[in-house]
Amino acid sequence: MFDRFEVTEEQETVFAGTPEVMEFDAVRPMRRGMRLARIYPHSVKPTTFGMQVLGRHATRNAIELDDEQAKRLINGGSLIIDVDAENGFVLLRWRGFAVGVGFYKRPVLKSQIPRFRPVE
């Protein structure tokens, strides 16, 4: 699947796109491709959108949430939870779907999902 994409790093951000998107130069876009991650001095933070698209391929550091846990994290909250995941950024799944990124430091799981409006 990934062989169809080109990956680039610009200004500490990793982008992926098809060769056609990456070569597009009719106008100067702000960025080309899909933002996958931000690069920090000691870590890499995957984006929520990138994980929603690519998360089904994740084989580790994914946490399955129940309905209440998902609602709390989507609304920007945190959980006290003990799961089999490494400390650091984790993929959050609900009913098998990738919903975003969290930050896990046992036993606290904090949402990294961008907040737009509360879900009721």
- Which residues pair with residue 9 across a beta bridge? 14
Kindly list the domain boundaries of the chain, sorted by start residue: 1-41, 58-120
d(CA 9, CA 19): 15
Across the chain, mean pLDDT equals 86
d(CA 93, CA 99): 6
- Rounded to two decimals, the pTM is 0.80
DSSP string over 4-65: G-EEEEETTEEEEE-HHHHH--SS--S--SEEEEEEETTEEEE-HHHHHHHGGG--SSEEEE
User: What class has domain 58-120?
Assistant: mainly beta
| Chain segment 8-54, per-residue pLDDT in tens | 788 888 888 877 777 776 665 566 778 889 999 888 899 998 888 88
Q: Taking a C-beta distance cutoff of 8 angstroms, is the pair 48, 100 a contact?
A: yes
The pLDDT of residue 119 is above 60: no
16: enclosing H helix or E strand? strand 13-17
Tell how far CA 75 is from the center of its chain: 16
